[in-house]
A and B are shown apart, each in its own frame.
Chain A
Amino acid sequence: MPLPEDHLEYPRRRHGMDHDLYPWSDLFDRPKVAWPNGARVALWVAPLLQWFPIDSAGKPFRAPGALTMPYPDYRHYTNRDYGNRVGIFRILDVLSELGIRGSVATNAAVAERYPGLVKEVVGRGHEILAHGLDMDHLHYGGMPEDEEAELVRGSLATLRDASGQAVKGWLSPGRSQSHATLGLLAEHGVAYCCDWANDDMPFRMTTPKGGIWAMPFAQETDDRTVMLDFKHTEDSWLQQVKDRFDTLYREAATHGGRIVSVPLHAWVAGVPYRIGAVREALSYMMGQEGVWAATGAEILQAFEASETGHG
């Protein structure tokens, strides 16, 4: 039996994208971006604080890093929780040492369970970036919208309350969304979202409930992806992160300011034998001329200022 005829129908075969979330544009044809003080690269370091519940359901799929063993999966639960107890402090110390402020993607459950940790992060001048409720509460196509609305509202309320910050950025657990996610985020005062992996610079997205920025968040040089999914060593991760920086830094000379984002899962990058590679990567970047380390919100603000003619 042949395929149903709709397989040979292409209702969205047209100029631009096959959805209405953003227009297509080529990074290399856009106006040059000017960062404060003529910086070439905005360095955006983003540690992640994640909590994987022991009774995780893994529905409708397991988030990267999720528990995999029969209940009670102590080994993965505790290995991930290590990041919140120990790993994050190694990372925070490296950042303090190098004078870097960044954005810490935080599950609301972490803020609820470990309010002191959020205070420590905030006290060091970092931005809190909302990272959903926890790593077992995914946003996904087909979920009831009222359920998702409550997840978004509740997570933001918890994180705003715990941090005293406006909390304008969002990273979904597993970078997973439903059709409604972006609209819900816009509705709840989120200015930028880090889930989409299609650009090296910010771009505007449109939702029925208002606009939202997509912020570039490294996917394939992410510490967990490189070292746990690809199974590369920390030395190789270090090389890749430096190579990534070098390309973007070189491009900035001719194409305008670039962003280098460095996601660091506290339970991956904060492990003793890996923290040296983290320090070396960030020292290398901070050692170049014209590198501006900032939070996501600051980088976005500078980007918007540059777009409207200040740059």
Chain B
Amino acid sequence: MQTILSIAIDALAYGMALFIICIGLSLTMGLMRVVNLAHGAFAMIAGYIASYAARDLGLGYAAAILLAILGTIVISIPLERLLYRRIYGSTELTQVLMTIGITFCVIGITNYFFGPTLKTIPLPGSLSQPVDVGFRTIAAHRLFVIACGLLVAGGLWFLIEKTSFGIKLRATVDNAAMADALGVRTQAVYAISFTVAVGLAALGGVVGAEFLPIEPYYALRYMVTFLVVVSVGGAGSILGAVAACLLLGAVDTTGRYLMPDFGNFFFYAAVIAIVCVFPRGFFGRAG
């Protein structure tokens, strides 16, 4: 029972950390139809900034997160202007190649400046101690990540379903040319959603650093995981991303706990099965 419960908590927290990162990618792919393999690179940049801010500048955890998100967004703006705008509407192969190229550049440049070592982001005291929830104790950091995930999911749902920006966003997704003709500034919608996606990647990279450690090849190592989660969930769907993250998080964590020798075997076997049955993901749009 104890084992099942700790697997469940770990799986939930890991799934939520994945979710925070992947929902941004899901937005980019669902809305802008860009297969952005460099999404993990933005999470990695944020991790490096947060680690630098917390360890070398001595800032607090909250300040480090904020600085990381802002810094990553600032870095991403020229990339969006100069590179991403050119591949909107290109074939998947072109987009994959361009974004793999960006990923390689980010890895090379960050390691040139920060050195090829594992970066840690020290947790504040309040998050590193266990919390008693009545029947057992849980690491506070796990609860924090779960709370962040729920907050992100709720916030995005509100933004997309309940605000006027959300209406414009959905209109642009359904028919960009028509939305443009009706006076929606689709370029601005694209730019804002790209910024939101990058900000979420940054947030996820920092709070998820306990599960996905910040290391030199971070962007490449987890690129596949993020892409897989999005294609399983269905691009552009919040519900699909939640379902995919929780399911794949559970499969991965359970596999590691019970059969550590097999590594990622179950993860990828599950992915092949799911993609074969649901080629568009759980909640993907048809067409």
Our verdict on whether A and B bind, yes or no, reads no
A binding-site residues for B, Cβ under 8 Å: none
